[in-house]
Every structure is written in structure tokens, then in C-alpha cells.
Amino acid sequence: MKYCSQCGESVEQRIPEGDNRERHVCPACGTIHYHNPRVIAGCLPVYGDRVLLCRRAIEPRLGYWTLPAGFMENGESTEDAARRETREEACTEVDIVSLYTLTSIIHVNQVQLIYLAQMPEKRFGPSEESLEVRLFREDEIPWDNLAFETIRQVLTLYFQDRKHQQFPLRHMEIDRNAFHSARVHL
């Protein structure tokens, strides 16, 4: 941020009174501009013994496989966002079962929420955001061609948990390439 979005003047970086962090502050109109993490919401869509993955049509990681997920928008709930992203990226409607993973992706200022979801129908397809959309059995997952480490982690946990048919919330943190924890919250 270089300019104040309220008045157009150049902003400066300083710690506002009563705060303890540097912020972008406008010396002209006094506006303090906060920058906060964004929420990524998505689904792990399940159809029978298969899960739905999308091959990305956009950067970053164009051509790699991922779960349908994206930035939550203003004016919607986290579940709305997860369903919308699944609709936009995989052209499918899902029934959300439960929140399955919450991952703080610290180095990129994101909080990723992945919902476990059931596909009532085997109806899906590519979109402007996905070159290809496919159902995969566990032994078909393209582990070497997944778009993101967080997605690899979610899928790994899912196939472990599926053996016991219990899907407790998995609470994780990732900072650069290291997962700090995969703590289970019950």
C-alpha cells in the first residue's frame, strides 16, 4: 500500500497511538489501514468411495490438481463460500457434512477451511477455473501433481480417517513448508 484509499495521499508506516504494530497510516486524513488474513473456503466432495479434484486452469499452480476452494467473499457465510467455490470450480452441488480442516497458512496470511461434503449426484464438469474435474479413488490420487501442500495434507488425513469413518475437525498450521501440527479437536 502506497496511497490512502480514502483520500489519495501517500501513506506512512508507523505505530498508531494505543497500538503495538506498524500500520499504514494516512498523515492527511488520519485513516489507519489494517491488513488482515483472508479466509479460503472449500470442500472435499465425496461420491461413494471417490473424491472430486479439479485441475487448475489459473495460476498459481496451473495444471495441478486441487480441491475446489477459494477466497470467501463479503456478504456470505463460510459454508456459502465453500459451496459457491465448489459450484464455480467443479460445476457441482454438494451437501456439506462438517468442517473438516482449519489450517492457518501463516506465511501467506490465509485461514483455510475445508468442509467435508457429499455429492448427491455424479454431476460435475470443468469450468473457467478448472481444465478438468475428476473423481479419484484413493489409489488414483495424483499425489505428485497436487497444487498445494495443504491439499496433500487434507487428502492424507481424509483417507486415514475414512478407515474409522470418523472425521473430527483437524486443526493445523503451516509456515512456509513445515506443518507444525495436525492436532485433533473434538
- Site residues, its own copies (CB under 8 A): 1-11, 18, 21, 33-39, 71-80, 98-99, 102, 104, 106, 109, 111, 128, 168-169, 171, 173, 185-186
Closest CB to its own copies among residues 43, 141 = 43
Q: How far apart are CB 140 and its own copies at their closest, in Å?
A: 28
Nearest to 116 by CA among 89, 95, 87: 95
Cis peptide bond N-terminal to 126, omega within 30: no
Burial label, 81 (beta-carbon count in 10 A; 0-12, 13-18, 19+): buried
Sign (positive/negative) of CA torsion 121, 125, 129, 132? positive
Q: How far apart are CB 122 and its own copies at their closest, in Å?
A: 25
Closest CB to its own copies among residues 21, 121 = 21
Q: How far apart are CB 137 and its own copies at their closest, in Å?
A: 26
Task: Report DSSP letters for 58-90, one per residue.
Answer: SSSSTT-EE-SEEEPPTTS-HHHHHHHHHHHHH
Q: How far apart are CB 138 and its own copies at their closest, in Å?
A: 23
Closest CB to its own copies among residues 3, 143 = 3
Closest CB to its own copies among residues 109, 118 = 109
